[in-house]
Chain A
Amino acid sequence: MVDEVTPDEVKEKLEDDDVQVVDIRPESEFEQGHIPGAINIPMSELPSRIDEYDWGDDVVVACPIGQSSIQAARLIGSYEDAESDAVASMEGGYREWEYELETGTESESDSEAQA
């Protein structure tokens, strides 16, 4: 069972600076606005790119409405190099996100997270 965290909880985690947010929306949507520090792995690319990242112990997956992110969290959690209970889904997705967004392709954690 995948844990779900609320947007408020994700905001708090961002302030503690130890969470890795994975945005599985298409690149064009990511560029228009994403959770600060998020990395973008479009859902269709996730299975083939899952080994490109060092999955830390606090990963939150974000999508438009909080449904596909549950499946993506299951997928990441099932990967040998990740811990299933370290991967959560953001409840309600971007539709429920009320905080600031970052635009553009690069976010500082994008380069750090790369394996």
Chain B
Amino acid sequence: MSKPTWDDVVDLPDELDDETAEQLYEEADELQDMTGEVCPYPQLEAKKAIQGLESGDLLVQETDHVPSTENVPKAVEDLADAKVWKSGSGLYRIFLSKK
């Protein structure tokens, strides 16, 4: 009997291709390493960081917790637009661009 995975049930934002993600990552205004962290900490930290940014600035959160790629964008959806990049080996980057 096959077991479901988070990828089966998590609602991801639009995905970025490798090249675009790499370029945006270099230009990010703030980076947060959230690997190993679970709800609600990543959401709270994203909200705090975005409030300190200017419109158009970019926050990138790195995580290994798939559910965060849905929860974090939802937690800041009034403040920022979200995209996600998957490494394919368990690492995810959430790109949050302040509105």
> Which A residues fall within an 8 A CB radius of B?
26, 43-44, 47-48, 50-51, 63-65, 67-68, 71, 74-75, 78-81
Contacts and interface: CB of A to CB of B under 8 A. Distances in A.
A78 B2 CA distance: 11
Interface string B1-39: 111111011100000000000000000000000000011
Interface stretch (B46-54, B68-76, B79-87, B91-99): B68-76
B56 interface: no
Contact of A43 (B5, B9, B38, B75): B38
The 6 tightest CB contacts between A and B, nearest first, are A74-B9, A68-B39, A78-B4, A71-B67, A65-B40, A75-B9
A67 B38 CA distance: 11
Given A64-B40, A81-B1, A47 B6 contact: yes
Q: Which has the most chain A C-beta neighbours within 10 Å: B8, B10, B67, B74?
A: B67
Interface of B: 1-6, 8-10, 38-40, 43, 65, 67, 70-71, 74-75
A71 B70 contact: yes
Given A43-B67, A71-B67, A78-B8, A65 B3 contact: no
Contacts of A51: 1, 3
Per DSSP, chain B at the interface is: loop
Contact of A75 (B1, B4, B71, B75): B4
A67 B74 CA distance: 9
A44 B65 CA distance: 8
B26 to A, nearest CB: 30
Contacts of A78: 4, 8-9
B40 to A, nearest CB: 5
Given A44-B65, A67-B43, A78-B9, 10 more contacts: A43-B67, A47-B5, A65-B39, A67-B39, A68-B71, A71-B9, A71-B70, A75-B9, A79-B3, A81-B1
